[in-house]
Amino acid sequence: MIERAAGLLRSGEPVAIPTETVYGLAANAFEHEAVLKVFRLKQRPLFDPLIVHVAHEQASLAALAQAGVVDSSGMTEGQKTSFARLTAALWPGPLTVVLPRGKRVVDLVSSGLSTVGVRVPAHPLTQQLLKALPFPLAAPSANRFGRVSPTTAQHVTDEFGKDLAMVMDGGACETGVESTVVLLLAGGDPLILRPGGISREVIEKLTGRRAAVQSTAGGSLVGVSPGTMDNHYAPTIPLILWDGASPVAASELPLRGLRVALLSVESSTTLEETVQSLGGEVCHREILSTRSSDLDAARHLFAALRRCGTSGASVIVAQKPGRDDGLWLAIADRLRKASFKGELNGLLSQLRGSR
Ligand code: TXA
Ligand code: MG
């Protein structure tokens, strides 16, 4: 399997690879044409940069600079120290660090930015593949742009079918949400551009510094991470997000006459009771973790969203996690991005009409 994948990648063909977070759609990060194929296959806009995946042997700044992946010459001592602390503990693993881009990584990978997101994925098959290749792999999640990320090989096949030469099957992904993307500010403070498989608390503990999260930092920093768009992870039917606390009136959310798939983060009857009180007919239920574990919930999230989409329901009602520590932050982020943001009454009457 490794040899076949390496052969295709050397000849410029994209290959889907397993990682501990989600499956990636990989190509030679040093070759424009190969990377362009990934953007085309995904139907991804060219302004949304890709993450570069490297072998564990290249996990140091010196090795990354030597390979032309990173240009560490302008990095401050604070940035270098935070980088070393984070990566010594977390690589291989679901952490992406945004660093000054080295000269061998093609412009397209970074959408023309002077930086590049780098990570060392933990899946053993992908580590073997990276070791066998003379170049690193640029890889976004292996889904069409804006859709739910794949956590099994079958999800990737469902999405691309014959358009993709090969999917390396590495089983179900362990973490289930994408890597945490971190930018190191000049003084060395970490800024979380995308919450993910490594929690904010862990990043703060390792660096000994406070980590702001971009989506809540606001102001001038918005725009530092293109691609952290709001309409993402869209399931095949609309998802309505309920915060789980505020009462909802049937005039705000008229579910009468609609088949509803429920997605709750933990065992609780409130979501079902609420949906029924609004007149919805519950036809499918997903509980992300019966023991309220953020790790379990993250692992199950994307597969559960897909099942809701094919359950025969016309709408998904999901309950937001009641907390934002650990991986709950990433779970809430993905649910928010997956949710319908328009005018609800209009959407619901349209769905009722199309039944
Ligand atoms: O876990 C993951 O990170 C998965 C697996 C396959 O490794 N990959 C992934 O890639 O989630 P993708 O393309 O779906 O998301 C990459 C995101 C971009 O949308 C952007 O938000 C951020 O990473 N990113 C990448 N390069 C960046 C850069 N140079 N500056 C800022 N943000 C960057
Ligand atoms: Mg993605």
Q: In 3-state terms, the chain is what percent helix, strand and coil (to 5)?
A: 35, 20, 45
Nearest residue by C-alpha to atom 16 in ligand 1: 50
pTM: 0.94
Tell me the CA–centroid distance for residue 279 and ligand 1, in Å.
40
Res 230: pLDDT: 63
Strands 259-266 and 281-289: parallel
By most ligand atoms within 8 Å of CB, the mutation choice from 51, 52, 54 for ligand 1 is 51
What pLDDT shows up at residue 229? 57
Using an 8 Å Cβ cutoff, are 158 and 73 in contact? no
- Residues of the chain scoring pLDDT < 70: 215-231, 355
Structure tokens belonging to residue 121: 């994925």
**Considering every ligand atom, which ligand is closest to the CA of 126?**
1
Residue 192 Cα to chain centre, angstroms: 13
Residue 77 tokens, joined:
């001592």
Mutate which of 25, 46, 152, 181 for ligand 1 pocket (most atoms within 8 A of beta carbon): 181
In the numeric block, the tokens 């590049």 are attached to 116
Q: Tell me the one-letter amino acid at 308.
A: C
Ligand 1: residue of 178, 198, 222, 334 to mutate (most ligand atoms within 8 A of CB) is 178
How far apart are the C-alpha atoms of 10 and 110, rounded to whole Å?
21
Query: Token pair for residue 90?
Result: 């977390």
The reply to whether ligand 1 has any atom less than 6 angstroms from the CB of 49 is yes
Closest CA to 277 of 241, 253, 311, 245: 253
pLDDT attached to residue 244? 78
Of 197, 155, 159, residue with least CA distance to 178: 197
